[in-house]
Amino acid sequence: MRDVAAAAASTGPRVLPRNDPRQYDDLAGEWWRPDGAFAMLHWLAAARAALVPPSTRPDALLVDLGCGAGLLAPHLAGKGYRHVGVDVTRSALVQAAEHGVCVVQGDATAVPLPDGCADVVSAGELLEHVPAWPRVVAEACRLLRPGGLLVLDTLNDTAMARLVAVRIAERLPTVPRGIHDPRLFVDARALVAECARHGVDLRLRGIRPQVGGLVAWLLRRARAARTGVTSTGRVPRIVPTRSTAVLYQGRGVRSG
């Protein structure tokens, strides 16, 4: 009997430490599901892309650090950038390539691209997943040409962020359980100071899902789980808010 139980346990979902990158392999089928485990990353990608203006020169390059499966790509269509995505997870990069991203498997703290190559660097929902976020910031700024644009979003190192993003969000279908390690959340003032050290004047604003859209989405998800019938509806938008205490967005230009 114990052997049967052990065999059953071995075929069940594996339990990984918080923020373990192997979670992204286990969730590989969720990236492009509109109401899947990574739905909120789609909403954030749309908000991040809105900070990126159309390119002003031919062959403009956008480097997408922590690109995942390329969720930023649809929102950059027509803006004139060559989209290069960097990530450590091969299963995600395969999907990013299918969506037109030129993929590079690598660590965001040591990107195999030359100094000053990028017109835009995106670091979306990345900094709160790396043990040494200042090294990622240094790489992002190194990649930017003078006048280049840095866009990012991340979670603040506050008690409120830990409550909302971990204790509450992981009990809803908005965030996969264990995807964040709150010890890695990024203090907003420290991030601004670190960017300034590397010549980028980063301006921050708080962001959050629009409440009505989020409630409608959660009700739709609950109905689908109950009935087995998936229906379409409006997608929640990410909107600005006065407080940066939980989730915040940054936009900054490298001096030259």
Model confidence over 157-214: pLDDT tens digits? Answer: 999 999 999 999 999 888 899 999 999 999 999 999 999 999 999 999 999 999 999 9
Give the relative orientation of helices 188-197 and 133-143 as an angle to the nearest 10 degrees.
Answer: 40
Fold observed for domain 15-209+237-254: Rossmann fold (3.40.50)
Among the listed residues 199, 219, 201, 203, the one whose alpha carbon sits nearest the alpha carbon of residue 211: 219
Mean of pLDDT over the chain: 92
Among the listed residues 241, 143, 254, the one whose alpha carbon sits nearest the alpha carbon of residue 195: 254
- Tens digit of each residue's pLDDT (9 = 90 or more) over 210-237: 999 999 999 988 887 788 776 666 789 9
pTM for the predicted model, two decimal places = 0.91
Confidence of residue 11 (pLDDT cuts 50, 70, 90): very low
pLDDT at 31: 97
Lookup result for tokens 């918080």 = 18
pLDDT at 14: 80
Residue 226, both tokens: 């109950």
Among the listed residues 49, 92, 88, 39, the one whose alpha carbon sits nearest the alpha carbon of residue 68: 92
Q: Coil, helix or strand for 248?
A: strand
Residue 102, pLDDT above cutoff 70 = yes
Q: Which residues, 6+ apart, have CB-to-CB distance to 256 below 8 Å?
A: 145, 146, 147
Q: State phi, psi for 15 to the nearest 5 degrees.
A: -100, 120
- Tens digit of each residue's pLDDT (9 = 90 or more) over 146-165: 999 999 999 999 999 999 99
Residue 76, pLDDT above cutoff 60 = yes
DSSP string across 109-177: TS-SS-TT-EEEEEEET-GGGSTTHHHHHHHHHHHEEEEEEEEEEEE-SSHHHHIIIIIIGGGTTTS-T
pLDDT at 6: 46
Residue 96, pLDDT above cutoff 50 = yes
pLDDT at 235: 82
